[in-house]
Amino acid sequence: MTPSEPTEYPINGVLDLHVFDPSVIGDLVPDYLRACHEKEIYRVRIIHGKGTGKLRKGVVALLDRDPLVLRHRPATDKSSWGATIAFLDPEAEPERPE
């Protein structure tokens, strides 16, 4: 069995975690935030679904620790707590991977 080819994901300010394995969010969310910041997208919608709330809690914990994130809140549209909105700091300097 050969590993699948990496899939390019659009950097447009909306990250739908439904299409990813939950085990990758620890790297995926910070990487996506950095990619958005580089494209000067400072409002990012992260769709994690409602479910048990475990994925949402993981996303919130990542946002709380990320130096690019000014603040975050649950979405205020019909998705409510099924999505989180992160506001990035335009003045922040993203950390570069080593």
Confidence band (pLDDT; 50, 70, 90) for 2? very low
* Contact (CB, 8 A) for 41 and 87: no
Rounded Cα gap, residues 88 and 96, in angstroms: 16
Domain 14-88 grouped into CATH 3.30.465.10? no
| H/E stretch holding 64 | helix 54-65
pLDDT, average across residues 63-71? 97
The ranges assigned to domains in the chain are 14-88
User: Which pLDDT tens digit goes with each residue over 42-64?
Assistant: 999 999 998 888 899 999 999 99
Rounded Cα gap, residues 88 and 2, in angstroms: 38
* Contact (CB, 8 A) for 59 and 74: no
Name the residue among 52, 48, 54 with its Cα closest to residue 74. 48
